[in-house]
A = this chain, B = another copy of it.
Amino acid sequence: MVNPNVSVDCVVFGFDGDGLNVLLIEQKDVGQRIRLALPGDLVLDEESLHEAAQRVLWELTGLEGVYLHQCGAFGDPNRVRDVKDLAWLQSYRENPQARVITVAYFALLKSEDFNPHASSFAERVFWHPVYQVPELAFDHNAIFSQALRILRKEMRHRQVGHELLPEKFTLSQLQTLHEAIFGEMLDKRNFRKKIIKEMWVLPLEEKQKGVVHKPARLYEINANTPVLEE
């Protein structure tokens, strides 16, 4: 039923309107040590890797159809043999010795869609800023870094990332999102020029409400953006 050799791990990015966060889970380790990890699970016999990742996210958040992007397979035999991980493996895995190859995915979530709560998965689930991610189980730090690198790469070429925003958003929110992902400030005028020219968004006849300053126009994602090669 469960394949003992193959797992998926998910790097779930969330955006709270300000900074970019990643979803971490806390597992109670034997001896009360705190163990942080990315959500992941062994793959079932009759599901594809993509489906396995969807399932992990569903079990974790209750959300379906989350945007997912594969970002690498990690298969060093030693990735599940670090001393820091032995106790946990022995407590929770049927076959603690098994060689496990993991396929990593990153997922994008609107923060508004998910307020972390404990699940079947873990003692605790919480958002953590992508800067200064703490030490994680197994090779999850390497997986996280690669996911962020690939997210940035995708972002440069496609209008990916709107999955992190509400349906209607202002250009300033979009800019803040880009700044959070790239970790650098962008010029307002140049940013808008580019977004408009590439037709990533469409203006709505609607404005922001309940703000204490000039309300900004709202936009929505243009589902028909021409897909750039590469």
| Pair B101/A77 contact, Cβ less than 8 Å | no
Q: Which of A45, A52, A73 has the most CB of B within 10 A?
A: A73
Contact of A73 among B47, B73, B156 (CB under 8 A): B73
A76 to chain B: which residues have CB within 8 Å? Answer: 48-49
Chain A 42-85 near chain B by CB (<8 Å), digits 1 or 0 = 01011111101000000000000000001011111100000000
B73, A3: Cβ atoms closer than 8 Å: no
Which of chain B's residues have a CB closer than 8 A to the CB of A156? 230
| Interface assignment of A103: CB less than 8 Å from any CB of chain B | yes
Known: A3-B5, A45-B99, A48-B76. Contact between A152 and B70, CB under 8 A? no
As for how many copies of this chain the complex holds, the number is 2
Contact B75 A103 (CB under 8 A): yes
A153 lies within 8 A of chain B by Cβ = yes
Q: Specify the chain B residue showing the minimal Cβ separation from A155.
A: B230
A contacts with B, residue count (CB < 8 A) = 25
Give A77's nearest chain B residue, CB to CB: B46
Q: Please provide the chain A residues from 1 to 59 with a CB less than 8 Å away from any CB of chain B in the complex.
A: 3, 5-6, 43, 45-50, 52
A225 to B5, CA, bound (A): 40
A153 to B50, CA, bound (A): 23
CB-based nearest B residue for A230? B153
Shortest Cβ distance from residue A41 to the other chain B in the assembled complex, whole angstroms: 14
Chain B residue contacts of A99, Cβ below 8 A: 3, 45
Residues of B within 8 A of A152 (CB): 230
Q: A108 to B228: give the CA distance in the assembly, Å.
A: 26
Give A76's nearest chain B residue, CB to CB.
Answer: B48
User: Given A6-B6, A101-B6, do A75 and B43 touch, yes or no (CB 8 Å)?
Assistant: yes
In the complex, chain B residues whose CB is within 8 Å of the CB of A72: 70, 73
Interface residues as binary, A85-110 with B (CB distance below 8 Å gives 1, 0 otherwise): 00000000000000101010000000
Contact surface of A with B, Cβ cutoff 8 Å: 3, 5-6, 43, 45-50, 52, 70, 72-77, 99, 101, 103, 152-153, 156, 230
